[in-house]
Structure 1
Amino acid sequence: MTDLLEKAVEAARRLPPEAQDDIARLVLVLSGEIVEPVAVNAEDRDAILRGQQAALRGDFASSDEISALWAKHGL
């Protein structure tokens, strides 16, 4: 295990159980251990559909909006 992964695992240990499970699922998906679809609740499904519809319309953030977002977070 790399130092970075060990650091990430230590950070994950301090998170609530739900967040730990989210991280575990991501690792398992990235490693190919989980290949089945992940259950999505109605609220998340609606958000995904809204995002897909916006993308189909070409509704993307402008360069100015992205720059403002980065600046807001000091990046």
Structure 2
Amino acid sequence: MTKLLDEAFQAARSLPPAMQDDLARVIMAMTGEAPCVIQLTAEEEASFEESFAEAERGDFATDEEIRAIWAKHGL
């Protein structure tokens, strides 16, 4: 095990159990030991469906809208 990975595991030990389990699932998916399955809430699923529908329609943010978001976040 590399030093960096060992440090990451040390840091993960202080996280709540649910976050530790999330990290474990990601690691297992990356190593091929388990599929990467993420449970979405009903609201998240609805948001994705709406986003896909907007993309299908070609309904994307304008350049001005993107610049406004960047400016809002100091980018």
TM-score above 0.5, yes or no: yes
How many percent of aligned residue pairs carry the same amino acid?
29
Taking the aligned partners of 1:37 and 1:28, their CA distance within structure 2 comes to: 11
Give the count of matched residue pairs. 70
Show structure 2 runs of 5+ residues with no match. Answer: none
Q: Secondary structure at the residue paired with 1:33?
A: coil
| Residues 35-58 of structure 1: per-residue CA shift (max 9 Å, x gap) | 26444342332343344345x133
- State TM-score, norm by structure 1: 0.64
- State TM-score, norm by structure 2: 0.64
- Structure 1 match to 2:19: 19
- Structure 2 match to 1:62: 66
Larger Cα-atom Rg: 2
Greater mean deviation of Cα atoms: 22-31 or 58-67: 58-67
